[in-house]
Amino acid sequence: MTLIVGRVVNGQVYMLGDTALTYYGFENANPTLEGCLKQYIVSDAIAIGFAGNQPHFEEDAGRLLACDTADEIVAIAMESQRAQKDYQLMVGEIGYPNLRIIKDGQVVEAPAGFVGDPAAFEVFQTVFHAREQCADSKEMNKATLQFLRLPEPLQGDLYSHIFNSLRNVITDPLMKSVGGIVVPLCSDGGRFRYVNYADVTSDRLNPEDFGPEPKVIEFGTDVGGGYAIDFEDDVPRNGNGLNVGVYFLQGGFGVVFPDTPTRLRLPQFVRAANPAYWVLETERLLGSGLPSCFLTIDHCGIAGDELLESERWQDAHFVYQLRDDLCAFAERPDLLEQFVTGRSLAKFNVGEPEQAIDELMRFVQTQASADFARHWLEKMLASRRR
């Protein structure tokens, strides 16, 4: 089934759910994809989340997402339930004091509620009300790091409390009806938006390995079972905020939920050896790519070099432009030279020869030893003279 929990507090709307995306065994890159995206932005002010029979919801998805008002959505859901369609619906509306929850042919209005598995919700409630347990992970003998962007306006620690309570349910091995990742859909700055986050779990910790001296905790190695996931929307890449995806750093892949003719968003596997490839491939697939908080200039340089080697000039140019923080190479001059030269080569081969030559010429003038850059600068100049 699934579990989507919702709450309205002082005008702020929170709707967080799981996804049927499951990822078995971080030691390999073969995920199992099930289900679909369960929460949808209808408009800046309206969002919905469903639980239940996926094909039944799919039949109505286009109509629901075309609605102008929450009342229209409620009417369609009620009509469908009278016709024996087996799905539940949660409707959140900015400026409305309650959630609207349609279950069993009835509409219930309340500031808090859920759709999905009642047993899973009971576990959520237990964790939620035991505040001291909320940050604990069900993944025993492991440490976790989280980077949560908080939706605005801030309401204290409520969002992180809901997030971690649901995360506990998802990672509880006894809760078979929910799984995958947390999908947060909340009002944020006056409009609904999927709220990005990163979630990192360490390798398994053995208490006997620790003593009085500090020891580094290994985070995110596939051998030790650690992992790092990054959930993002496409707003930072000038998208409309409707496209979302999750990137698995150690697996070298991600999953996106592109639109379909029925408007049901199904998971699609995306191979991406590092975060630079993730942005590139999602840009190609969705039109506006998904960023990654794990992206570094090293990832851009590695991907750029590989793409130049295979003469994928436009793709190389794209990934080189993702990061411009050359200060990261301050103590690594060889890598700085390689990055600047690669970026210039990409520009040269996509029809920007003047910019490429100018950039490389300015670079070699400031470097006492830059033989690699000088070599390619001479080749560019010779090519321009021909």
**In terms of domains, do 337 and 242 share one?**
no
Tokens of 224: 């030790």
Strand partners, 113: 6
User: Could you tell me which residues come within 8 angstroms of residue 367 by beta carbon, excluding any fewer than 6 positions away?
Assistant: 333, 337, 373
pTM, two decimals, is: 0.89
The verdict on residue 134 lying in a domain is yes
For residue 107, the tally of other CB atoms under 10 A from its CB is 15
Instruction: State the Cα–Cα distance between residues 194 and 319, nearest whole angstrom.
Output: 25
**In terms of domains, do 290 and 317 share one?**
no
**The pLDDT of residue 32:** 40
**The pLDDT of residue 277:** 98
Q: Return the amino acid letter for 301.
A: G
Tokens of 328: 């990261």
Phi, psi for 347 (deg, rounded to 5): -60, -40
Q: Which residues of the chain have pLDDT under 70?
A: 20-35, 131-143, 203-225, 386
**In terms of domains, do 269 and 290 share one?**
yes
Phi, psi for 22 (deg, rounded to 5): -125, 145
Total domains present in the chain: 2
The verdict on residue 214 lying in a domain is no
Q: Do 363 and 370 meet the contact criterion of CB atoms below 8 Å apart?
A: yes
**In terms of domains, do 228 and 126 share one?**
yes
The verdict on residue 249 lying in a domain is yes
**The pLDDT of residue 37:** 92
**In terms of domains, do 370 and 311 share one?**
yes
Burial 148-172 (b: 16+ CB within 10 A, else e): bebbeeebeebbebbbbbbbbbbbb
If phi > 0 it is left, if psi is from -120 to 50 it is alpha, else beta; for residue 147 that is beta
CA-closest candidate to residue 281, choices 297, 270, 291: 270
Phi, psi for 134 (deg, rounded to 5): -65, -30
Q: What's the domain range around 349?
A: 306-385
Q: Return the amino acid letter for 269.
A: F
CA-closest candidate to residue 64, choices 52, 46, 84: 46
The verdict on residue 329 lying in a domain is yes
**The pLDDT of residue 225:** 64
Tell me the per-residue pLDDT of 313-369, one tens digit each, with 9 for 90 and over. Answer: 999 999 999 998 999 998 899 999 999 999 999 999 999 999 999 999 999 998 878
CATH number, domain containing residue 30: 3.60.20.10
Tokens of 254: 């991600």
**In terms of domains, do 115 and 176 share one?**
yes
Instruction: State the Cα–Cα distance between residues 198 and 379, nearest whole angstrom.
Output: 43
**In terms of domains, do 240 and 368 share one?**
no
**The pLDDT of residue 275:** 98
**In terms of domains, do 325 and 274 share one?**
no
* Cα-to-chain-centroid distance, residue 151: 15
Sheet with 112-116, strands from edge to edge, namely: 112-116, 3-9, 12-17, 183-188, 191-194
Q: Return the amino acid letter for 81.
A: Q
**In terms of domains, do 77 and 99 share one?**
yes
**The pLDDT of residue 31:** 33
- Where a domain ends, among 236, 260, 295? 295
Instruction: State the Cα–Cα distance between residues 187 and 47, nearest whole angstrom.
Output: 9
CA-closest candidate to residue 68, choices 43, 51, 92: 43
**The pLDDT of residue 30:** 33
- Where a domain ends, among 244, 264, 295? 295
Tell me the per-residue pLDDT of 67-85, one tens digit each, with 9 for 90 and over. Answer: 999 999 999 999 999 999 9
